[in-house]
Structure 1
Amino acid sequence: MNKLKSDLKPMNVGDVLDYSVEVFRQNFKGIVLLSLILYVPWAVLNSIILNSVGDNQLAGVLNMYRDMFNGVYSPEMFDSYLGETSIFVTTVTALMGMIQLAYSLTIKLVLNAAVIKMVYDYVISGEVTVSSFSDVKALIKDSFRFMPKMMGNAVLVALIVGTAYFISIFVGVFAIILPIIAISVLDLPPVLLAVAMVFFVIFVIVAVLISIAFFVIKLLFGANIIVIEGKSVSESIKRSFYLSKGRFWHILFSGIFAIMLYYLFNSLLMGATIFLTIVNNTLYIVVNAFAKMFSTIAEPFILVFITILFINMKVQKEGLDLEVKMRRLIKEEKSINKDGVTTNG
């Protein structure tokens, strides 16, 4: 892996994931400091407020399943388990949702830009560049300049992917309904008919998911291009399409494994707090807030992974490794010349 890091050779699916974990580990201190300043306070506050003002419906659900297991549940008891949501709770939830949206389109994008820049500088130089509070402070200050373009990119990506999602779902529904009607009128054995319908529905669902994934992958590197290459929003979209061209399956499978790794950790962390709801709601709120803090610190791993993928695409399609080697040779030559001048002086 050290050889991969120093030479920037093209990486396969396993190498990308392995190197992402290594980069995350090497830059963990910088990621923690960035998260503690820009993300953790809001994420923990949001968790505490929502869990405090909301009715403990999660405990009600667990109690319902417990009674089902014990054989004392009846459908008439359903409302008593979940309770009624008050107007106050609904208003607070909606307000926190709007604040979350505003936060995601502002400060969260600054965090993203800072992580992207830190990871890219580390991979190119081979040295950890952010390891102290002063380093983090300077990085955050520099990252604010990317926020307007990052906002434009985020909105544009959301519109494109959202449109692709609704069109894919619309087409998928008709692609399921019409053939099923046609198959149902055929004189086939019931078992064969059911199997044919199930396989066809699965095929359409997979096709819909792949079509949505296509646009997500094509737009995946927009933020990296804005931060690293200084491109505009429209140029970043074009560059992202170019870098991902012909690499769909490589990016898709790499992404699936990275998301599985992250969400496995996140699910174990957050899921472990669920059973506290039936013990004590206050204890659940406190423990869940701590779990949310650790989950928030781990979240930049996905961004680290995307940045490593971006670098890998540049290596494969544009020979970034040669460019980096030239930079190092020039740097070494300047260092030698400087030492020579000092010696002569």
Structure 2
Amino acid sequence: MKKISFFLTLLAVVGCQNNDDGYTNVSVELEVPAHFPEVTYNLTNNPLTENGIELGRKLFYDGAVSSTGTISCGSCHEQKYAFTHHGHTFSHGVNDLEGTRNTPPVQNMAFLENFAWDGATGHLDLFPVIPITTEVEMDETLENVIEKLKNKSGYKKLFAEAFEDGEVNSENFLLALSQFMVTMISADAKYDKYINKEVQLTEVEEQGLALFEQKCASCHATALFSDGSFRNNGLQPNPKLDDIGRGKVTGFVADNYKFKVPSLRNIAVTAPYMHDGRFGSLEAVLAFYNEGVVDSETLDPLLNNNGNLGIATTEDERVAIIAFLNTLTDNTFLTDERFSEK
């Protein structure tokens, strides 16, 4: 693991910070796996501390962020399913209103450059604003959230312990959530143990890895199993949703129907799949790539080989690929008490 200290040298030596109210706040070092990419989140602007992370966890599971007081971040991001809404095609918000996209996982956020299926924001601190203010999700405003927190027992003390200025405000609210999400690193799957030469893959898993590297790794790259790009993977657009994906954000026709390449970490527990949750199993996903890809002006070139669309696989190859994908399940992450609701 690469350890990165995020406080100034003096604070790193002292190991703690005292704010004006006399609270002690211990700095935290983020452990980054050696085979992972570099951290993209700016931890200089938001140093990790024990109290900041703990405040972020409490906020993540607090329904006060929604207009009804019943929907928290954790309502749709469930830990045992890699912080997705397993089994739900679309996320469910206040008053059981339904969204239009499948809930993405919250994992390895410290290494990402864009967030949401369409990359609506490029900063983790701003990411929570989207679900909080979306009518079919939390249907709330930051101003109202902060007022509720100011009047809720214990939060003034928690904010004072977490931040030097001690203010219960939107900036500290978002920074605390980011501190918590930054620590949510999934890197202890069987695959990681294999990379670290701690275990061996079975014969079928090794076959699946070789096939994956040949057929899938161009997009599902790096230890994150996503290159972070936006691509049109050949799905037939849902006429009821008319979701053009990245094109709605950029305004460029060339980005229509492109969505972010999802990470495949913990993929075995995050069904249903795709931005609209149309596939209920990994078998269905691979069958789609084998025979269901639809051509269009923005279809990714990797899926059109001289008129042959998709990614050709045999039934045995699909079995092997899925066997490998199962090695990406990180049970440590899925049960880690640091990320659980108290």
Same fold (TM over 0.5): no
Q: Which has the higher contact order (CA 8 A, sep 6+)?
A: 1
Look at both structures and tell me which one has the larger radius of gyration over its CA atoms: 1
Q: Scaled by the length of structure 1, what TM-score is found?
A: 0.24
Q: Scaled by the length of structure 2, what TM-score is found?
A: 0.24
More strand by share: 2
